[in-house]
Chains A and B, each alone.
Chain A
């Protein structure tokens, strides 16, 4: 495929889910976005997004089309990744409430509970205080998971501020990995994507020792 610009090149796993919305947000956040479905398409990426969707379907397709192990290896080797909702489940080292045999790519030292807030009638919108963001983020939670437990290396980035689930962890970061229970890609606010693009860019800068690669 090769590089066509100096912008960081970020893949969006395109097996199922809201891929197009992530692509649009990445572009607004100053990255080049490419949908990826095949192992060879991982080669030129500086980062990857695991989108919202159905985690059981994504797991199944990733296994069948030989994406699962290459993704796991790439992330283990430091490829920055951001998972939203189903993507958060995929990045968790451990899940609760999965289907029998459902594996995760892992990398985040967390336990994530699938469908933790309940069924679709319990899906909700709420404002969140997010670390590193000056203004609260208006977040959409759709049959969303939450983070049940975090390991020592994991930084909690946001918690539910009010209501029945107050205090629940809904955004986390660990080294090159970012995960949110909610879906910034469908809200028109690209600040979470900008945070991730920033993580990708600083890794690139560190790697080639030239902070001026792009701005």
Chain B
């Protein structure tokens, strides 16, 4: 592995002596933003009060949305981008980055979110997809995007469309971590497989992954995605977070797991601590004590196929 492979390619080249005036919205600052979130927890919040609790607990960012996945699941119906007033309220309330969700393919929702000044857009399968063929062309935006993926091919297709951060999908709103585990293990295993392939077999690997050869080669050489990889979906306890970090996640999204639990502030703090000390069971044990009721879970197996969110997106 060469030294530079760990580094982000910047949008403007470092030509000797050339002075480049400030440039916004480059791949460098989009992907770099996600690098700064690493080792942290991003929490779903539905109002300013929850956002403050998340910030106080040590969240690195909050995800503003109208209903947490557990409620979307319970109430059904079409789920859309949140009300701008509600997003404004959250941006006003906290100083940490604020993310918000747009429907898959809904570029106009994304335009609105960018104009509101959110720091990251999640093109999310948790909302009802707006386009069943195309995802958003994320290169068209100054604001960076995070997208979900169940496997390496899906992750690389999203990166091709301009995603600056990937989160493995889980089954959101269930408190059942099993899908998050499956998808993280799948992505990591596919990366390891690429690393072991001789160069001349990467062409067919790219075809099988349905991803561009250049990206496939980059992953094979670096042994990692060219963007940050978080985990999401079904994480409800400090031990869930610690397990996902040990499986190779670089950080954690927690949705319904915090504010659907008995004591949100304490649980939020515990998950933050367990994410930092994911490899120290003594710390994870200590923070897991006395948290009260975890969210009531749903087994993914009990959810009929058409209602599984992780299967949205392709």
| Separation of A141 and B23 alpha carbons in the complex (Å) | 10
Which of chain A's residues have a CB closer than 8 A to the CB of B9?
188
CB–CB B272/A61 < 8 A: yes
Does chain B have a CB within 8 A of A138?
yes
Among B20, B36, B55, B114, max chain A CB count under 10 A is at B36
Distance to closest chain B CB from A140 (angstroms): 5
Does chain B have a CB within 8 A of A86?
yes
CB–CB A127/B95 < 8 A: no
Decide: A17 near B36, CB < 8 A? Known: A57-B58, A64-B273, A125-B23: yes
**B114 nearest CB neighbor, chain A only:** A121
Residues 177-215 of A, flagged 1 when their CB comes within 8 A of B and 0 if not, give 000000100111100000000000000000000000000
- Within 8 Å by CB of B39, from A14, A85, A120, lies A14
Does chain A have a CB within 8 A of B229?
no
* A interface, size bucket: 35 or more
Distance to closest chain B CB from A127 (angstroms): 5
CB–CB A138/B20 < 8 A: yes
Residues 108-152 of B, flagged 1 when their CB comes within 8 A of A and 0 if not, give 000000100111100000000000000000000011100000000
Decide: A187 near B10, CB < 8 A? Known: A15-B39, A119-B117: yes
Does chain B have a CB within 8 A of A2?
no
Distance to closest chain A CB from B135 (angstroms): 20
* B interface, size bucket: 35 or more
Does chain A have a CB within 8 A of B29?
yes
Does chain B have a CB within 8 A of A9?
no
Which of chain B's residues have a CB closer than 8 A to the CB of A115?
95
| Separation of A170 and B203 alpha carbons in the complex (Å) | 45
Does chain B have a CB within 8 A of A43?
no
Distance to closest chain B CB from A155 (angstroms): 22
Which of chain B's residues have a CB closer than 8 A to the CB of A15?
39, 276
Does chain B have a CB within 8 A of A159?
no
Query: A34-93: which residues lie under 8 A (CB-CB) from chain B?
Result: 37, 52-54, 56-57, 60-61, 64-65, 85-86
**A64 nearest CB neighbor, chain B only:** B273
Stretch touching chain B among A20-28, A103-111, A146-154 = A20-28
- Within 8 Å by CB of A121, from B3, B56, B142, B276, lies B142
- Within 8 Å by CB of A53, from B39, B57, B143, B144, lies B39
Does chain A have a CB within 8 A of B6?
yes
Query: B2-18: which residues lie under 8 A (CB-CB) from chain A?
Result: 3-4, 6-14, 16-18
Decide: A120 near B120, CB < 8 A? Known: A21-B6, A37-B277, A53-B40: yes
Query: B271-313: which residues lie under 8 A (CB-CB) from chain A?
Result: 272-273, 276-277
Distance to closest chain A CB from B269 (angstroms): 8
| Separation of A160 and B273 alpha carbons in the complex (Å) | 37
Decide: A142 near B32, CB < 8 A? Known: A15-B39, A136-B19, A163-B22: yes
11 examples of A-B residue contacts, CB within 8 angstroms:
A16-B38, A17-B36, A65-B277, A99-B94, A99-B95, A120-B118, A123-B32, A126-B23, A188-B8, A188-B9, A189-B14
| Interface residues in chain B, defined as those with a beta carbon under 8 Å from any beta carbon in chain A | 3-4, 6-14, 16-26, 28-29, 32-33, 35-40, 55-61, 94-97, 114, 117-120, 142-144, 272-273, 276-277
| Interface residues in chain A, defined as those with a beta carbon under 8 Å from any beta carbon in chain B | 14-21, 24, 28, 37, 52-54, 56-57, 60-61, 64-65, 85-86, 97-99, 114-115, 119-127, 135-136, 138, 140-143, 160-165, 183, 186-189
Q: Top 6 closest A-B pairs, CB basis?
A: A188-B7, A120-B119, A60-B58, A123-B29, A138-B14, A163-B22
